[in-house]
Amino acid sequence: MGAFLNWHYVAKPLRVYTHHLNDSITIPDYFANRFEDKGNLLRIVTAVVILLFYTLYTSSGLVAGAKLFEVTFHLEYSTALLIGSFVIVSYTFLGGYNAVSWTDFIQGILMMLALVITPIAVINEIGGVSEGLSMIGEIDPTHLNLFSGASIISVISLLAWGLGYFGQPHILVRFMSIRHENEVTRAKTIGMTWMILSVVGSLAVGFFGLAYVVHMGVNLEDPEKIFITLSQLVFNPWIAGFLLAAILAAIMSTVDSQLLVSSSVLTRDLYHAILRKNATDTELVWVGRLTVIIIAVIAWAISTDENSSVLQLVSYAWAGFGAAFGPLIILSLYNRNITKTGAIAGMIVGALTVIVYKQLEGGIFDIYELLPGFIAAWIAIIVFSKIGANNSDTIKTTFDEVQKRLAEK
């Protein structure tokens, strides 16, 4: 639902607005132009938030890559991490936006096929859906009850994940780079179809994979390795190789987007916009590549803990971006009176709320840190927009022009 609402309410307005604002191509660029950030404070705050949480996000991809190489080639975790990190980062270092877009397209198809084929094969191996359900019921009857162990707080907490879509830079940048605003509807159809198939396939892999490993007497110490284990047990080595490649594709298609956005933020929004306005294209390319290496090294250092969880790292970064940028993206597109002061306050409050709440080991109400961060940021934007200086006539006129253009479509 979060992804659909993001496509429906954010994609087209953001594409139109960024095109109207000198064709802004990064999130800091959009915010700076939207709020006339002449002092670059808004741009700097945005860039810092992106670099902070993307480093955590990238580390989750490196951990996933390490787990893949660890199981597949029977390597030590540290060795697997080094090899995986090199493979994942190297082609992002060499390629640019077009390279990432085309490889993401191929990788996305490979991922979807793997997540459709694998559960079908697993269900066939265990004797069908009804037999699989029977096995799962024997393992633990509560697994067949959708609401087992659920509370109002837990349901709200899980639904809060959907709010994160509104603030993910690697998703928002894709909206901004759609070739033409008229193609947003077709893009939404393709994107949501892919997502529904992939999510259902992922759930089926975990659900029926549990029945399979218990039935076969497989000792699965790390549940996050279920897909890798199934690929090696159910399929012959040739097919398993393609399925394992799909895992690497999933990792790379996410990490390359994160590294590319981080690189463009540091290169375009800090180095070029503030430090070296006369920098040559060649110089900017090398600064971007250096950024990729620095972020990758820091992410690698975070990933060296063998007990690292992909899900925990992703949830932290997802919450950080969702709270820091989500409310601001929505309000900047739909509220004429949001000011630069409100924008800065919202980002800082959202990011800090997530960081502080995360340290409380589940928080006061044991709820996902994204929700309190999102709410706090939304309130901060509204309140501080009333306290600070009002928007200029130019900002208001631009907003009205964009709304008029959207109304015509």
Residue 89, domain CATH: 1.20.1730.10
What is the distance between the alpha carbons of residues 151 and 156, in angstroms, rounded to a whole number? 9
**Residue 364 confidence class, pLDDT cut points 50, 70, 90:** low
pLDDT tens by residue, 313-357: 889 999 999 999 999 999 999 999 999 999 999 999 999 999 998
Q: What is the mean pLDDT of residues 208-224?
A: 88
CA dihedral 117, 119, 120, 126 (to 10 degrees): 140
What is the distance between the alpha carbons of residues 3 and 327, in angstroms, rounded to a whole number? 15
pLDDT at 185: 93
What is the distance between the alpha carbons of residues 259 and 79, in angstroms, rounded to a whole number? 22
What is the distance between the alpha carbons of residues 192 and 199, in angstroms, rounded to a whole number? 10
What is the distance between the alpha carbons of residues 66 and 85, in angstroms, rounded to a whole number? 8
Torsion over CA: 29, 31, 33, 39 (sign): negative
Provide the token pair at 72: 């597949």
Helix axes 97-125, 237-264, angle to 10 degrees: 150
Provide the token pair at 9: 């309410």
Q: What is the pTM of this model?
A: 0.85
* Cβ pair 370, 163 in contact under 8 A: yes
Percent of the chain with pLDDT over 70: 96
Please name which of 319, 337, 330, 334 lies closest in space to residue 384, comparing C-alpha atoms: 337
H/E stretch holding 376: helix 370-387
Quick check: 362 pLDDT over 60? no
Please name which of 57, 43, 49 lies closest in space to residue 377, comparing C-alpha atoms: 49
pLDDT at 95: 63
Which residue range forms the structural domain that includes residue 324? 2-408
Number of domains in the chain: 1
What is the distance between the alpha carbons of residues 271 and 277, in angstroms, rounded to a whole number? 8
Q: State whether residue 168 is helix, strand or coil.
A: coil
Residue 109: which residues within 8 A CB-CB, separation 6 or more?
Answer: none
pLDDT at 398: 92
Integer distance in angstroms from the first to the last C-alpha of the chain? 24
pLDDT at 212: 93
What is the distance between the alpha carbons of residues 278 and 281, in angstroms, rounded to a whole number? 9
Residue 259: which residues within 8 A CB-CB, separation 6 or more?
Answer: 54, 58, 89, 92, 292, 295, 296
Amino acid in position 252: M
